[in-house]
């Protein structure tokens, strides 16, 4: 193993800094090109009917101008046989300028007891570009004969 002399330490530090400067932009670019991911949370995840649930989807990672997510439609499938969908009317996409929505939230009331699988989908035209899901549990409440 070579021994570094004190006089060569500054040169070694400079060389390492140059190598890092060359490698880090490539790593940063790879992270920026990475597709964002979705995280869905339901609050409360368990309760008595009728249960009002607030759902929040956070879009994490990726660049703010990720083209595929720009002006995407949203669909919520509630697991109770109903869906909610929306689309936006947006300006044409411009790289480095256009940004997508990073948070989607909605409320839904579950009127009967059961376990429900809630799905969220981001769409472009008829294509699903990202999706996530979670489950909630609704227990029998007063209207379902609870306490009789």
User: Worst-scoring range by mean pLDDT, 8-12, 57-61, 71-75?
Assistant: 8-12
Contact call for residues 37 and 61 (beta carbons, < 8 A) = yes
Q: Which CATH class is domain 35-144?
A: mainly beta
> What percentage of the chain reaches a pLDDT higher than 70?
75
The pLDDT value given to residue 18: 52
Helix (H, G, I), strand (E, B) or coil at 136: strand
The pLDDT value given to residue 21: 53
Domain ranges in the chain?
Answer: 1-33, 35-144
For tokens 């059961």, the residue is: 114
Helix (H, G, I), strand (E, B) or coil at 14: helix
Residue 139, CA distances (Å) to 1, 40, 41, 79, 119 in order: 69, 21, 19, 15, 20
pLDDT tens-digit profile of 88-142?
Answer: 889 999 999 999 999 999 999 999 999 999 999 999 988 999 999 999 999 998 7
The pLDDT value given to residue 136: 98
Region 46-69: mean pLDDT is: 96
pLDDT tens-digit profile of 9-39?
Answer: 555 545 555 555 555 554 444 445 689 999 9
Parallel, antiparallel, or unpaired for β 83-86 and 114-124?
A: unpaired
The pLDDT value given to residue 142: 79
Task: Report the chain's C-alpha Rg in angstroms.
Answer: 24
């Amino acid at each position: 193993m070579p021994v570094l002399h004190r006089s060569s330490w500054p040169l070694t530090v400079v060389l390492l800094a140059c190598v890092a400067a060359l490698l880090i932009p490539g790593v940063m670019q790879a992270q920026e090109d990475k597709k964002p991911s979705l995280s869905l949370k339901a609050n409360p995840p368990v309760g008595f009917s009728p249960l009002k649930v607030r759902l929040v989807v956070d879009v994490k990672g990726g660049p703010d101008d990720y083209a595929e997510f720009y002006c995407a439609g949203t669909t919520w499938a509630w697991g109770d046989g109903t869906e909610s969908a929306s689309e936006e009317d947006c300006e044409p996409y411009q790289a480095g300028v256009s940004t997508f929505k990073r948070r989607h939230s909605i409320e839904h009331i579950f009127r009967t007891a059961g376990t429900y699988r809630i799905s969220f989908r981001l769409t472009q035209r008829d294509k699903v570009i990202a999706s996530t899901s979670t489950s909630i549990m609704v227990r029998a409440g007063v209207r379902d004969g609870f306490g009789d």
